[in-house]
């Protein structure tokens, strides 16, 4: 054997002996002294960590470890660092067995101890607690295989840890090298866990997680979160740095510019001069000039490139470009104004008369306050387009603002100038855009405003729409009063009950009912068809009267004319596809060919005089309709059965009708009521019905069923009934009468107090129809029951 081989064999034996000594030295006994740590850093196996010992019990435990336990001791974390003398319950149960590598005494009589973490251990029992903690321990180990999942997890943790080290810049290069070379998952997990800046509770949780797979998963989650935070911090630092550099650069350039201006002798910038001249020459109220001078003086003292200077310039631009004293002249020719109103809109007499009254009054007083009109009616009756027509008739400019869904008070009254991007409210914006202080402004859908944390816009409108207050309307942005008293505000709404009472009180309510069939016919013939023909570039389009009426009755059912316009346009489009002519005529036959079968059918009335069936009249949002009420007696115990999707009010009307009929019939019919159930039904059960106006109809139907007397088929009725048999007025009279005429009803019974409503309806609409007014149920029975 060569000399080299002999030396090698000798080295192996020495190393083997040394390794066996090391293993022997690392044997961990069942009991060890325990030192509580309260610095929150935690000690993990496979790491070398320093900590400080100063408390008496900890010093004695350290001494015991050095003398009797081969430098081994247990370190555990203290739950509450503020506890000076901890008890066993103040300590976590899982800690780390460490070997003391070095002890150094410090000037303040404490000791700095450098230890190496060996194994996880759990305290099973405190053998003694005085003068130091002596614990019986159990080493925590778990057997595992190095699976592909574990290998992948190790790679992910290494990658994230390297990324974390690069972002923090707090670890030397040697740490990265050590990390990359680690192949043992247990050691890798403990190494990364020991350097993570996490709370004590999280470190203790990692210490108590024995299996390296679970520990690595938790560490990976922590690393991902920490990296995300560090990346955000890095991005913020970069932005701040760039901003500081930009600010410093701008400052240097401004200083140079200022020095250049001083050298050239520039005393006042051209912009400031122009602003002063504009204020001096402009026609502004005194308080506006005073405000403008103050703002210009502020602007002079500012750096022209500062953010505040931009805010002041914008404010002056708004202040000096509003039409403080600019107004258009009203067209006071009443005949011409009436002609324009009639040209663009059919009907709507009450609205037109109110505008003409205002124009007549303006002839006598130039300072007359403009009215605040509120047009209330169903969709499609022309409320919005009426605003533009009114502006045209008066010779004023027109602006529109939609209030539907508005939730921010600042939309009405503007923002304070302290807000970034502040602007005046939309009222002031419209006035500036129109360039006049007396336009017509339409506030659309005033009933659909909302309330939010940004304020209540309906309350903000109170000042705008109050003729006594809007003379001095102050927008939050302008901070000076603007006179809105000459603005003609027109608001529109579908319903009144959603408008706050205080706001409703400031407006003059004008209700626009739905159009009748004759009115729709005139609108379609004179307005809609010519308008569509012009838009399509057609020379002549003719609809026969029968064709227009067929479209109105069988293909549209609405209060307004919006859907009617869509259907007529559809007919014209289909006619163009069919013939491609610039001039054509549409007949009744053509309508059905182009549009298909009718969508709506005419109301059906009773074919003959019947017992227990009465024709009533109902109002719907799309106009009036005929309503058949049926009543039937069935053997029973006097119960009242109601069907037909009735609302609560209508059910109450039925109960009142039953009481009235029982009183009228007296003792003669007592047995009939006691031995029979009464069934009242309103056909079309899928359609909801409510309201008190069917009261007399139900009463007559019940009376007929109980007495066996027939009801006239050509009589219809509407009215509310009381327990005394009195008849109260109801609404929707115009729509109900037109529905009765469409159905071929010859006689209509109405409450006496509804006579004024009938007098407002054009007489030609009611030709061939007899109106009978009644105030008591006996009068109704006299007209309706067949004698």
- What is the Cα Rg of the chain in Å? 47
Pick the closest to residue 585 from 596, 575, 598 (CA basis): 575
Neighbouring-strand partners of residue 586: 543
Give the CA distances from residue 362 to residues 168, 337, 391, in Å, rounded to whole numbers and listed in that order. Answer: 79, 13, 15
Residue 472 and residue 475: Cα distance in Å, rounded? 10
Q: Is 399 annotated as a binding residue?
A: no
| Crossing angle (nearest 10°) for helices 383-394 and 349-364 | 30
Q: Which residues contact 422 (CB under 8 A, 6 or more apart)?
A: 311, 414, 415, 416, 477
Residue 384 and residue 491: Cα distance in Å, rounded? 9
Q: Collect contacts of 336-342 with beta carbons under 8 A, ≥24 apart.
A: 336/393, 337/393, 337/394, 338/393, 340/389, 340/392, 340/393, 341/389, 341/390, 341/393
Neighbouring-strand partners of residue 720: 728
CB atoms within 10 A of CB 662: 17
Residue 82 and residue 80: Cα distance in Å, rounded? 5
Q: Which residues contact 133 (CB under 8 A, 6 or more apart)?
A: 33, 34, 35, 36, 57, 61, 88, 91, 126
Residue 508 and residue 375: Cα distance in Å, rounded? 9
Number of helices (H) and strands (E) in the chain: give both, helices first.
Answer: 28, 26
DSSP sequence for 749-764: EEEGGGHHHHHTS-GG
Structure tokens at 277: 């001249």
The number of CA neighbours under 13 Å toward the Cβ of 385 is: 14
Residue 445 and residue 360: Cα distance in Å, rounded? 29
141: annotated active-site residue: no
Q: Which helix (H) or strand (E) holds 429?
A: helix 426-434
CB atoms within 10 A of CB 65: 24
DSSP sequence for 457-502: HHHHHHHHT-TTTGGGEE-TTT-SEE--TTSEEEEEES-STTS-HH
Q: Is 378 annotated as a binding residue?
A: yes
In total, the chain counts a number of residues equal to: 787
Residue 142 and residue 685: Cα distance in Å, rounded? 75
Would you give the DSSP letter of residue 526? I
693: annotated active-site residue: yes
Q: Which residues contact 740 (CB under 8 A, 6 or more apart)?
A: 617, 624, 626, 716, 748, 769
Catalytic residue among 693, 704, 734, 741: 693
Q: Is 616 annotated as a binding residue?
A: no
Residue 759 and residue 163: Cα distance in Å, rounded? 88
Pick the closest to residue 734 from 628, 615, 626, 623 (CA basis): 623
CB 195 within 8 A of CB 171: yes
Give the CA distances from residue 783 to residues 58, 269, 408, 701, 741, in Å, rounded to whole numbers and listed in that order. Answer: 112, 91, 58, 13, 18
Residue 648 and residue 575: Cα distance in Å, rounded? 48
Backbone phi and psi for residue 72, each to the nearest 5 degrees, phi listed first: -100, 140
Q: Is 57 annotated as a binding residue?
A: no
Q: Is 380 annotated as a binding residue?
A: yes
Residue 526 and residue 545: Cα distance in Å, rounded? 12
Q: Is 544 annotated as a binding residue?
A: no
| Residue located via tokens 């970034």 | 420
CB burial readout 613-640, b (16+ within 10 A) else e: bbbbbbbbebbbbbbbbbbbbeeeeeee
Catalytic residue among 99, 734, 736, 741: 736
Using DSSP's 3-state secondary structure scheme, residue 236 falls into: helix
Q: Per the annotation, where are the binding residues?
A: 377-384
Q: Per the annotation, where are the binding residues for ATP?
A: 377-384
Active-site residues: which are they? 693, 736
């Amino acid at each position: 054997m060569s000399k080299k081989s002999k030396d090698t064999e000798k080295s192996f034996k020495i190393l083997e002996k040394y390794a066996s000594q090391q293993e022997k030295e690392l044997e961990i006994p069942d009991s060890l002294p325990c030192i509580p740590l309260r610095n929150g850093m935690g000690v993990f196996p496979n790491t070398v960590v320093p900590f400080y010992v100063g408390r008496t019990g900890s010093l004695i435990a350290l001494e015991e470890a050095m003398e009797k336990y081969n430098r081994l001791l247990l370190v555990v974390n203290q739950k509450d660092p503020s506890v000076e003398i901890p008890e066993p319950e103040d300590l976590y149960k899982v800690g780390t067995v460490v070997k003391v590598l070095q002890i150094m005494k410090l000037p303040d009589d404490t000791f700095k101890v450098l230890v190496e973490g060996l194994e996880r251990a759990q305290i099973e029992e405190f053998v003694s607690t005085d003068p130091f903690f002596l614990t019986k321990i159990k080493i925590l180990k778990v057997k595992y295989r190095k699976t592909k999942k574990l290998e992948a997890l190790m790679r992910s943790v290494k990658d994230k840890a390297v990324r974390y080290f690069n972002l923090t810049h707090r670890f030397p290069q040697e740490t990265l090298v050590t990390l990359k070379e680690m192949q043992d998952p247990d050691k890798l997990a403990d190494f990364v866990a020991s350097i993570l800046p996490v709370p004590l509770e999280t470190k203790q949780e990692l210490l108590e997680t024995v299996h390296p797979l679970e520990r690595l998963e938790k560490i990976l989650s922590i690393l991902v979160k920490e990296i995300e935070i560090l990346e955000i911090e890095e991005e913020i630092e970069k932005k701040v740095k760039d901003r500081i550099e930009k600010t410093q650069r701008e400052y240097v350039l401004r200083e140079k510019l200022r020095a250049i201006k001083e050298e050239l002798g520039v005393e006042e910038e051209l912009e400031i001069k122009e602003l002063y001249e504009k204020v001096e020459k402009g026609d502004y109220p005194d308080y506006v000039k005073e405000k403008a001078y103050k703002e210009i003086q502020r602007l002079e003292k500012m750096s022209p490139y500062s953010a505040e200077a931009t805010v002041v310039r914008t404010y002056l631009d708004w202040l000096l470009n509003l039409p403080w004293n600019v107004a258009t002249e009203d067209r006071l020719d009443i005949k011409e104004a009436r002609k324009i109103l009639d040209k663009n809109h059919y009907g709507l007499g009450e609205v037109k008369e109110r505008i003409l009254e205002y124009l007549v009054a303006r002839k006598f007083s130039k300072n007359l306050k403009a009215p605040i009109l509120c047009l209330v009616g169903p969709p499609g009756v022309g409320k919005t387009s009426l605003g533009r027509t009114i502006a045209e008739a008066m010779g004023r400019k027109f602006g529109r603002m939609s209030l539907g869904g508005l939730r921010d008070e600042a939309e009405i009254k503007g923002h304070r100038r302290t807000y970034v991007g502040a602007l005046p409210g939309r009222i002031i914006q419209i006035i500036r855009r129109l360039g006049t202080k007396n336009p017509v402004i339409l506030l659309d859908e005033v009933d659909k405003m909302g309330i939010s944390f940004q304020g209540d816009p309906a309350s903000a409108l109170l000042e705008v729409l109050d003729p006594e207050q809007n003379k001095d309307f102050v927008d939050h942005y302008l901070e000076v009063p603007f006179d809105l008293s000459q603005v003609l505000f027109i608001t529109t709404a579908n319903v009144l009950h959603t408008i706050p009472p205080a706001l409703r009180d400031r407006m003059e309510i004008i209700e626009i009912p739905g159009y009748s069939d004759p009115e729709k016919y005139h609108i379609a013939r004179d307005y809609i068809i010519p308008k569509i023909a012009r838009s399509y570039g057609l020379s002549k389009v003719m609809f026969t009267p029968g064709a227009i009426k067929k479209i109105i009755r069988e293909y549209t059912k609405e209060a307004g004319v919006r859907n009617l316009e869509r259907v007529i346009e559809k007919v014209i489009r289909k006619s163009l596809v069919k013939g491609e002519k610039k001039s054509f005529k549409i007949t009744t036959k053509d309508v059905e060919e182009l549009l298909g079968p009718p969508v709506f059918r005419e109301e059906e009335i009773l074919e003959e005089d019947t017992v227990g069936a009465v024709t009533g009249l109902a109002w719907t949002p799309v106009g009036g309709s005929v309503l058949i009420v049926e009543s039937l007696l069935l053997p029973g115990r006097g119960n009242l059965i109601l069907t037909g999707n009735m609302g609560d009010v209508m059910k109450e009307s039925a109960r009142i009708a039953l009481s009235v009929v029982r009183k009228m019939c007296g003792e003669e019919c007592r047995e009939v009521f006691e031995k029979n159930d009464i069934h009242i039904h309103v056909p079309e059960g899928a359609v909801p019905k409510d309201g008190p106006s069917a009261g007399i109809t139900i009463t007559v139907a019940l009376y007929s069923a109980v007495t066996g007397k027939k009801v006239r088929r050509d009589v219809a009725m509407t009215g509310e009934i009381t327990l005394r048999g009195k008849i109260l007025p109801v609404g929707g009279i115009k729509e109900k009468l037109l529905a009765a005429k469409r159905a071929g009803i010859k006689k209509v019974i109405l409450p006496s107090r509804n006579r004024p409503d009938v007098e407002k309806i054009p007489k030609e609409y009611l030709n061939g129809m007899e109106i009978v007014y009644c105030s008591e149920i006996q009068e109704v029975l006299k007209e309706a029951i067949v004698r």
